[in-house]
Each structure stands twice: as C-alpha cells, then as structure tokens.
Amino acid sequence: MTSKQPKTAKPAAEARRVCVIGAGYVGLPTAGVLSTRGHDVVLAERDERRLNMLLAGEMPIFEPGLDVLLAEGRAAGRLRYMPSAAEAVQGCEFVFLCVPTPQGDDGAADLSYVESAAAEIGPFLEPGTIVINKSTVPVGTVNLVERTIGRSDIAVVSNPEFLREGTAVTDSLHPDRIVVGSTDVRAATAVAELFGSTGAAMVITDPTTAETIKYASNAFLATKISFINAMAALCEAVGADVRDLVLGLGFDKRIGFEFLRPGPGWGGSCFPKDTSALVHIGMEHGYDFGLLRGAIACNDEQIERMVHKLEVAAGGSLDGKTIGIWGLTFKADTDDRRNSPATAITAKVVERGATVRAYDPTVSANDANSPDLAGVEIVADPVEAARGAAVIGLLTEWQEFRWVDFDAVAALMAAPSIVDARNLLDPEAIRRQGFTYVGVGRT
Ligand code: UDX
C-alpha cells in the first residue's frame, strides 16, 4: 500500500552520522525521521528477508507513510541499509538500539537482543560514540549496556520511544515530548539536538527515571482504557450510555478524551508486555503494584466479556455455530497481531466449538497456518465472512467496516446479528437494516 507524503521534518542544526540497529516498528520510523532531519543514517538489519525488502524499496511492515518517509531518505542519499551492525556503527557518532525486548516467561522483559547487539558493536564503536537505548527496557538497562560494551569512552543514554503503530510516522515527526536519560549532560544534550526543533517538550533526566517514564506512560494509558472498559460494563449494568459518559468526562481538561474508547481490551506489542514488566519490576524492588495488576485483570475480563456477548448473540452457545469475525489485528492501520484482543477472542470462540470465518485487510489465506489463527478460515472480504454466520464479531476498528454492503451481509445470515466490540457502527442505521446490534457500554 502506498501512502501520503509525510510532512518533511525540519532539519537539525548540524548533520550527524547516525546508526540505527533493528528495522522494526521503532527502528524504521526512527531511521526515516533522522534522515529527513538531514542526518546521514545507516540502518542495520540482520534478517535477510527484511533487508532485501528494504533494498528493493518494499516495506517489511505495514505502517502508513513509512514508505514515503524512507523513500525520501533514500532519494536524498541520507539513508543506507546494511546487514551487519558491527560494520554499520563504524564512523558513526550516534547508535540507536531499536531491537525487540519481548516478554520473557516470568513477565520480565527479555533483554537478550539488547545484550547481543551491545556485545556485537562494542569493539567497533568510534571513541566518543553515544549509544542510545530506544527499545523499552527495564530500569537499569543503561547500566547493563554500559557493562556489556565495557568501554569508558562510550556514553550510553536512554531515549524512550512513544510512537504508536498506525501513526508512527506522524508521532515520530511531531512528538509531544523527547525524554533523554543520562548522567552525562554533554551526551544528553547531543541526543536532544539530533531531533532538531520539533517544538516538543524536552525532559532531560537520569537514566533510571527515563526508563521508568516509558513504563509509566504505557501503564497509565492501559489503566485509562481499563477504567473506561470497566465503566462501559457498569453502563451496561445500569442502563447508561458510555459514549455520552465519555463526553461528560473528556471536556474536563484534567481528564481529556484520549484513550477513553471502550473496546475489546488493549493489546499490541507494548501495553501487555510493559504492564507485566512494570508489575515485575515493582515486585523485584519490594513494591506490589496492585493498581496495575487490577488494570491487567480488568483487561483479561474484557476479552471474556466480548466472548460472552458473542455467545449470547449466537443463542446461548457457540458450539456448532458459524461465527464471522471482522478484524484480527490489535488495532486498525497496522498489520500487527501481537497480543491482539481480536485473535484472543477468536481463539476462545474456536475453543468453544464454533467454526470461524474471519476477514482482515492485512491477513490473507496464506497466513492461515500462523499459530494465532489456528482453526480459523481466512476469507477475502467481510461479506464472505458472514456466510452462514449466527453472528458477526467486529473486533478491529478498520474504517472499511463502516461501508460494508450490509444488505449483502444480511442476505447470508439466517438472523442478522452483530457484536460491535469497537462501537464503530451506528446502531440505529444497522438496526434499520434488520440487524440485532450489540455494542460496548451502550444499550
Ligand atoms: C502504545 C503507546 O501508545 C505508545 O506510546 C508506545 O510507544 C507503544 O505502545 P501502540 O501499542 O502502537 O502504542 O497502540 P495504541 O494506539 O496505544 O493502542 C494500544 C491498545 O489500546 C490497542 O489494542 C488499542 O486498540 C487499545 N485502545 C487504545 C483502546 O482500546 N482504547 C483507546 O481509547 C485507545
């Protein structure tokens, strides 16, 4: 998919030589934005398939605007791709670590990629290079990277990333704030200057605080969503309307409207992993983060709540029924299904004996072997997902679901029924087309 031209970033005061390690959801926009700011960027990616796609001008992930951003950098000769991190860092003044930090078995972040990248580049760094942790990492990782590199002429700095998938390019070009954590003021200032005049607030602090800020942001936002999901459940119980409730809340500037959309629960590569990791960090340091444990438990309940809605809409049991699923990614405008509430709900529906026909614009029949889609038939359009279905579960807020031919959908269902886990559709309009409609937090 090709997307619109991103607004070119304001150049930084001085062009610097920058290396970004890891061409993932964080590394790619970071490399793109730094190159449009006028820096000379080399992106190291050791996965051959990913690297070859980039070299061919193709995108290894779906992220709106990323293709144009990277093409700009390539056309200006300011963005190169290389397989070897050890080679890529040579001659660079700044090295961003943007490697994955998946969740380990005990809930703690798995730092093996960070450690191996630091060990690999250590001997090849130029004296005075600043190494920057952009991956979300537990408190103390700046020290771990320092120890792994083992050189007193290298500064290690924390610079957490706050971009969201789906809006990664805009978020990187126009951040709300830039957080830099370092005990070395020279290094912190140099990293802050790399981003040029974004107009973003700058928070320069110590590494531990910077690392904690990232977890705190994600934990706060996840808690905010869990709060509104809990309020939605309460609205259903008392007969209130969560949409009007959000209006009543959001106009209070202290609360605001952001992250108050009720839904099937929060997912993705960050919130589930980072909330568990923060609970774990607390435990390791003698603090039981009960509030956050509650937000996580509330999120697990939300998934079960959506399964229950489908069950009720299907006549009290899922066993032997066909269920149509619209949307499998963890949110719209991404192809990412990591910790997706949509696939978690779908798996439970399959577990309870239903046949599932699912449609998602980023998933094709070739993906059907993926473990998270076990037992799910992938179809090519939303209408097809409705064939013989007792109910449709709309689980991801892809805008195209607003414009489906609902007459064609209804014609394929014995008793047209939809559970809209994202409150995407207009209940009145859908009901007029003969559907039974169930949303979240509204009757
Ligand atoms: C998040 C943070 O927002 C970002 O700052 C951080 O760098 C990475 O983690 P991301 O996971 O890409 O970004 O998506 P986000 O838009 O935050 O959504 C996270 C989850 O919350 C999704 O499952 C989304 O559907 C859900 N969500 C979000 C809601 O259910 N309601 C909302 O109001 C907002």
CB 2 within 8 A of CB 12: no
303-353 per-position pLDDT tens digit? 999 999 999 999 999 999 999 999 999 999 999 999 999 999 999 999 999
Q: Which residues pair with 394 in a beta bridge?
A: 326, 420
Residue 305 lies in a domain: yes
348 in the same domain as 440? yes
Decide if 143 is inside a domain.
yes
From 161, 266, 396, give the residue whose CB has the most ligand 1 atoms within 8 Å, as the site to mutate. Answer: 266
On whether residue 3 sits in a domain, the answer given is: no
Give the position, in ligand 1's atom list, of the atom nearest the Cα of 396.
Answer: 25
- Which of 19, 235, 270, 298 does the annotation list as catalytic? 270
Q: Are residues 70 and 192 in the same domain?
A: yes
CA 345 to ligand 1 centroid distance, Å: 18
* Distance (Å, whole) CA 88 – CA 19: 6
Q: The tokens of 282 are what?
A: 């607390």
Residues 299 and 162 in one domain: no
pLDDT score for 108:
78
* Ligand 1 pocket check for 263: Cβ under 6 Å: yes
pLDDT tens digits along 394-407: 999 999 999 999 99
- List the structure tokens of 275: 């909330």
C-alpha 126 to ligand 1 mean position (Å): 37
Q: Is the pLDDT of residue 294 over 80?
A: yes
Same structural domain for residues 143 and 249? no
Residues 124, 261 within the same domain? no
Q: Are 435 and 418 in contact (CB under 8 A)?
A: yes
* Mean pLDDT value across residues 412-430: 97
Number of domains in the chain: 2
Q: Is 92 a catalytic residue?
A: no
pLDDT above 70 covers what percent of the chain? 97
Query: What single-letter amino acid sits at 9?
Result: A
Residue 1: inside a domain: no
Q: Are residues 187 and 243 in the same domain?
A: no
At residue 7 the predicted structure's pLDDT band, cuts being 50, 70 and 90, is: very low
Of 187, 205, 223, which residue sits at a domain end? 205
Residues 258 and 133 reside in one and the same domain: no
Q: What pLDDT score does 13 carry?
A: 61
- What confidence tier does 2 reach under pLDDT thresholds 50, 70, 90? very low
Residue 218 placed within a domain: no
Query: Which ligand 1 atom is the nearest neighbour of the CA of 270?
Result: 9
Contact present, 41 and 14 (Cβ < 8 Å): no
- Residues 162 and 282 reside in one and the same domain: no
Which percentage of the chain shows pLDDT scores above 90?
90
User: 213 CB under 6 A from ligand 1?
Assistant: no
State the burial class of residue 251 (Cβ atoms within 10 Å of its Cβ: 0-12, 13-18, 19+): exposed
CATH code, domain carrying 152: 3.40.50.720
Q: Which residues of 102-126 are buried (b: 16+ CB within 10 A; e: fewer)?
A: ebeeebbbbbebbbebbebbbebbe
Residue that is last in its domain, among 163, 182, 205: 205
Tell me, what's the pLDDT at 244? 97
Ligand 1: does its nearest atom lie under 6 Å from the Cβ of 268?
Answer: yes
8 A C-beta contact, residue 442 and residue 235? yes
Residue 287 sits in the same domain as residue 168: no
Contact yes or no for 324/357 (Cβ under 8 A): yes
The residue type found at 400 is E
Residue 88 lies in a domain: yes
User: 10-14, long-range: CB within 8 Å, 24+ apart, which pairs?
Assistant: 10/37, 10/196, 10/197, 10/198, 11/37, 11/38, 11/196, 12/37, 12/38, 12/39, 12/193, 12/194, 12/195, 12/196, 13/193, 13/196, 14/193
- Which tokens go with 258? 């952001």
What spacing in Å lies between the alpha carbon of 363 and ligand 1's midpoint?
20
pLDDT tens string 139-191: 889 999 999 999 999 999 999 999 999 999 999 999 999 999 999 999 999 99
- Residue 103 — pLDDT band, cuts 50, 70, 90? confident
* Span of 4-8, 216-220, 265-269, 313-317 with lowest mean pLDDT: 4-8
Mutate to test the pocket of ligand 1, among 101, 225, 226, 399 (most ligand atoms within 8 A of CB): 225
Does residue 232 belong to any structural domain of this protein? Answer: no
Please tell me the residue having the least CA distance from ligand 1 atom 34: 259
- What whole-number distance in Å separates Cα of residue 89 and Cα of residue 81? 12
Per the domain annotation, does 80 fall within a domain? yes
- In DSSP notation, 105-168 reads TTSSB--HHHHHHHHHHGGGPPTT-EEEE-S---TTHHHHHHHHHT-TT-EEEE------TTSH
Residues 158 and 250 in one domain: no
Same domain as 367, residue 324: yes
CA angle 165, 168, 172 (to 5 degrees): 145
CB atoms within 10 A of CB 224: 17
Q: Last residue of a domain, which of 205, 227, 260? A: 205
Render the burial of 44-74: b for 16+ CB within 10 Å, e for the rest. Answer: bbbeeebbebbeeeebbbbbbbbbbbbebbb
The pTM of the full predicted model, rounded to 2 decimals, is 0.92
Q: How far is the CA of 225 from the centre of ligand 1 (A)?
A: 9
Residue 130 CA, ligand 1 centroid: distance in Å: 30
Residue 9: the pLDDT is 54
Which domain does 313 fall in, by range? 238-443
- Ligand 1, atom nearest to 168 Cα: 12
The per-residue pLDDT for range 49-62, each reduced to its tens digit, is 999 999 999 999 98
Q: Is 267 in the pocket of ligand 1 (CB under 6 A)?
A: yes
Specify the pLDDT at position 11.
59
Q: Is 27 in the pocket of ligand 1 (CB under 6 A)?
A: no
Nearest-atom index, ligand 1, CA of 334: 12
Atom of ligand 1 nearest to the CA of 267: 23
Beta strands in 11-119 (DSSP E): 17-21, 40-44, 79-82, 94-97
Ligand 1 pocket residue status of 163, Cβ below 6 Å: yes
Position 5 pLDDT exceeds 50: no
Give me the helices (H) in 239-339, please: 242-250, 271-284, 290-313
> With 90 as the cut, is the pLDDT of residue 280 above it?
yes
**CA angle 434–436–437, rounded 5-degree value:** 115
268 and 120 in a common domain? no
The pLDDT-based confidence of 112 (bands split at 50, 70, 90) is very high
